[in-house]
Structure 1
Amino acid sequence: MPLPFLSGLRVVDLGQYLPGPHAAQLLADLGAAVVKVEPPDGDPLRRLGPTDADGMTAAYKLLNAGKTVVRLDLKSADGRAAFETLVAKADALVESYRPGVLDKLGIGRDRLRALNPRLVHASLSGWGSTGPYALRAGHDLNYMAVGGGLDSSGLPDRPMISHPPVADFASAQQTALAVAAALLGRERTGQGCFLDLSIMETVLGWQGFQLTAAARGTMPERGESLLSGGAACYRIYRTADGRFATLSALEAKFWRGFCEAVGRPDWIARQSDPLPQTALTAELEALFASRDLAAWKALLDPVDCCFEALPTLIEVADHPHVAARGQVRRGTGPEPLVETLMGLRVDGGPPPARDPLRESGLDAVLAAWS
């Protein structure tokens, strides 16, 4: 069952693809009743990639679980009238169109405010509603680049693409947080508001440390800082069988425990070697390459040194800690879905479950919302 915190609140999801729909899904996890409005042909994500026997992609079904889907043609007068009826009864609207699209349809910010002064209207766009890039096309990689999320990440010779799309998922979470906060604020003021959020600025909001270092001329080169690969104690290492192990022994006690466990107490004092620790890193690379991953697990799992084997994706759900926490829910049948639920447990309960998405006519939704 969803959590009860937003029970009784009604959310209209006008998003497509990933960020907007995931934001609305998080609100559903917290108890809101979410109705997703799609065009007559449906959200394009339904068909973006391999489809299941029901004609929908797994990604679409995973991102829209917990919602009721209705189809409206917002380019028609009847469709807009139906949408306005729905919005008039809603507490929040989450949409992820480019700025100006809803205005062209006749259901822009001012019209929505007139229909429902208590509406919390969250507009999640790529670049925000103002500025020279407001109408510019983009995707996660572009937003990560301009927002500062790529320049300091990756290997010394080049930045690396993050996966899954970090900016998309992070901006969805920021949007859900902003909507929940605005709904709380509405309880004090009685008035809704317009929330202008951007995917790029979600990433930009994380860059204070890096921008400060860059402004002061103290930013290390890519791959040379403490947390980007410059320190031997904080790296990913390849093992003899081609697998990978992670070591993040930043604190002296963890580094000491690691060095003692692998029989190299002479390394303990070298944790403070200047960055990048090229020579020490090479020694650790040779060490990890001398045994397979299972052997390293046998040796280091019992040691309190911030060592973890890197599981493959097929292994993640069966990892003993992941399995014990119950956040991953695997379906059955020939085309099973593997859901990753919200990582939240209240008073010892399980993560909030999601029902499969269901399609409905508008009349049924309005009856339920009456």
Structure 2
Amino acid sequence: MPADLLAGIRVVEIGQYIPAPFAGLALADLGAEVVKIEPPSGDPMRRFGETRAGGVSAAYTALNGGKRIIRPDLKTPAVQQQVRALVAAADVLLESFRPGVLDRLGLGRQALAEANPRLVHCALSGFGQNGPLSRKAAHDLNYMAAGGGLAGSGTTERPVITRPPVSDYAGGQQAALSIAAALFRRERTGRGAYIDIAMADVVLSWQAADLAESASPIAPARGADLIGGGAAGYNIYRAACGGFVTLAALEARFWQVFCHAVRRADLIDRQADPLPQTALIAELAALFAKHTALEWEDRLGALDCCFQRVLTPAEALLFPQFLAREILDGPDGDMPGVRYPAWIDGAPARSRREPWRDADLGQVLSGWS
């Protein structure tokens, strides 16, 4: 059953790579009509990685399901006038330019607001619309570094690059949520909104607990705290096959189940060892290295001890829980699809088998007028 929560909502998306397209994807999944404007050469994400059917990358296809794509030259005055008319007929403008770019294209905030006072305009950028870094060029790794997302992630030796790029997806999700909230207010007041979202801000907001702890004189170092790699019961271990398994037995009852299952009841009381539990981690590493990841899954997978084998992307597509949730589309050609991650009114989200469609600006404008 198609999701219809945003049925009748018209969205103009002007963005590229991941953040704005991911936000637009969520809105399309929820029933909005999304028209994405790309440069004449197309979103660079089309060429990001190996190209697939249609001459575009798998990543591009995955992020643009259900949208109509137009590729006008926004530097042309006649096209700018058409786009202004399109936005005037829209409910939402979602864009990810650095500050000042829309103004240079004749699509500045004030002009758009005057043409469409009910417009929900969401500006999604790296550092936001104000501040000393608002025009600074950067990508996910930089936003994660600035917002604290890297400092606490990794080993004691160094931070690690996150995958997927957290700020890109988190920023896109924050944009979709904020747009939905603004549309709700508009239903009550008739008033549009201007939303300024910085991906660096979003990353910072995700560090709320760590920021609160940072003022403590005993703030844990990277790789040494309870959920950052310092606890034996909350860690990643290499199995004999070279694969990996995870153990997240934070609560005493889960830790006890695990210890009994591996016949190491002598470890039960050591759950309270001081952090970082270097010696205990080494013991468990030696233990897990004795058997393959699949053997550990057979032994621990059904027990209530917070165990999970680390799945590859290909294995995740066959994970029984995901199959039961009907979140995955079967392979469409050479690429599987992932649906919107929520059941609505007792049913899974609709399929993304139709990834995107090329369209003509004039035809879209005629249909919206």
TM-score normalized by structure 1? 0.97
State the shift of 1:331 in Å. Answer: 2.8
| Cα gap change, 1:154 to 1:112, in 2 (>3 Å) | same
Equivalent in the alignment of 1:104: 104
Equivalent in the alignment of 1:8: 8
User: What SS does the aligned partner of 2:321 have?
Assistant: helix
State the shift of 1:250 in Å. Answer: 0.5
TM-score normalized by structure 2? 0.97
User: What SS does the aligned partner of 2:55 have?
Assistant: coil
- The one-letter amino acid paired with 1:99 is P
- Counterparts of 1:22-33 in structure 2 under 5 Å? 22-33=22-33
Contact 1:2 1:28 in 2 (8 A): no
Q: For the residues of structure 1 that align with 2:184 and 2:302, how far apart are their CA atoms?
A: 46
User: What SS does the aligned partner of 1:153 have?
Assistant: coil
Q: For the residues of structure 1 that align with 2:220 and 2:45, how far apart are their CA atoms?
A: 40
Of 332, 338, 343, 2:341 maps to 343
Structure 1, residues 150-190: CA drift from partner, whole Å, max 9, x if none?
10110000000001111101110000000000011111221
- The one-letter amino acid paired with 1:344 is A
Q: For the residues of structure 1 that align with 2:128 and 2:344, how far apart are their CA atoms?
A: 34
State the shift of 1:193 in Å. Answer: 1.3
User: What SS does the aligned partner of 2:54 have?
Assistant: coil
Equivalent in the alignment of 1:174: 174
Q: For the residues of structure 2 that align with 1:262 and 1:347, how far apart are their CA atoms?
A: 42
Moved more, 346-355 or 154-163: 346-355
State the shift of 1:343 in Å. Answer: 0.8
- The one-letter amino acid paired with 1:210 is D
1:186 paired with 2:175, answer no
User: What SS does the aligned partner of 1:345 have?
Assistant: coil
Q: For the residues of structure 1 that align with 2:302 and 2:195, how far apart are their CA atoms?
A: 48
Structure 1, residues 30-79: CA drift from partner, whole Å, max 9, x if none?
11100111122221212233223522112111111110111221111111
- The one-letter amino acid paired with 2:160 is M
Equivalent in the alignment of 1:154: 154
Contact 1:344 1:352 in 2 (8 A): no
Equivalent in the alignment of 2:365: 366
Q: For the residues of structure 2 that align with 1:213 and 1:332, how far apart are their CA atoms?
A: 47
User: What SS does the aligned partner of 1:11 have?
Assistant: strand
User: What SS does the aligned partner of 1:329 have?
Assistant: strand
1:214 paired with 2:217, answer no
Structure 1, residues 330-363: CA drift from partner, whole Å, max 9, x if none?
3343xx2221111101122122323321111123
Equivalent in the alignment of 1:60: 60
Contact 2:82 2:365 in 1 (8 A): no
**Percent of aligned positions that are identical:** 51
Q: For the residues of structure 1 that align with 2:130 and 2:215, how far apart are their CA atoms?
A: 26
Contact 1:329 1:340 in 2 (8 A): yes
Q: For the residues of structure 2 that align with 1:106 and 1:366, how far apart are their CA atoms?
A: 18
Q: For the residues of structure 2 that align with 1:119 and 1:279, how far apart are their CA atoms?
A: 59
Structure 1, residues 200-227: CA drift from partner, whole Å, max 9, x if none?
1110001121112111223111100000
- Displaced runs of 4+ in structure 1, greater than 3 A? none
Equivalent in the alignment of 1:356: 355
Contact 1:72 1:83 in 2 (8 A): no
Q: For the residues of structure 1 that align with 2:176 and 2:50, how far apart are their CA atoms?
A: 29
User: What SS does the aligned partner of 1:216 have?
Assistant: coil
User: Gaps (5+ residues) in structure 2?
Assistant: none
User: What SS does the aligned partner of 1:4 have?
Assistant: coil
Structure 1, residues 6-40: CA drift from partner, whole Å, max 9, x if none?
10010000111110011011001111100111122
Q: For the residues of structure 1 that align with 2:350 and 2:132, how far apart are their CA atoms?
A: 40
Contact 2:10 2:33 in 1 (8 A): yes
Q: For the residues of structure 1 that align with 2:153 and 2:355, how far apart are their CA atoms?
A: 37
Structure 1, residues 253-279: CA drift from partner, whole Å, max 9, x if none?
000000011111111111111100111
- Counterparts of 1:289-304 in structure 2 under 5 Å? 289-304=289-304
| Cα gap change, 1:181 to 1:170, in 2 (>3 Å) | same
Q: For the residues of structure 2 that align with 1:2 and 1:134, how far apart are their CA atoms?
A: 38
Q: For the residues of structure 1 that align with 2:295 and 2:62, how far apart are their CA atoms?
A: 37
- The one-letter amino acid paired with 2:102 is L
User: Gaps (5+ residues) in structure 1?
Assistant: none
- The one-letter amino acid paired with 1:37 is I
User: Matched residue pairs, number?
Assistant: 368
Moved more, 34-43 or 158-167: 34-43
Q: For the residues of structure 2 that align with 1:163 and 1:60, how far apart are their CA atoms?
A: 17
- Counterparts of 1:1-370 in structure 2 under 5 Å? 2-333=2-333, 336-354=334-352, 355-370=354-369
Q: For the residues of structure 2 that align with 1:311 and 1:277, how far apart are their CA atoms?
A: 26
- The one-letter amino acid paired with 2:116 is N
Q: For the residues of structure 2 that align with 1:321 and 1:254, how far apart are their CA atoms?
A: 21
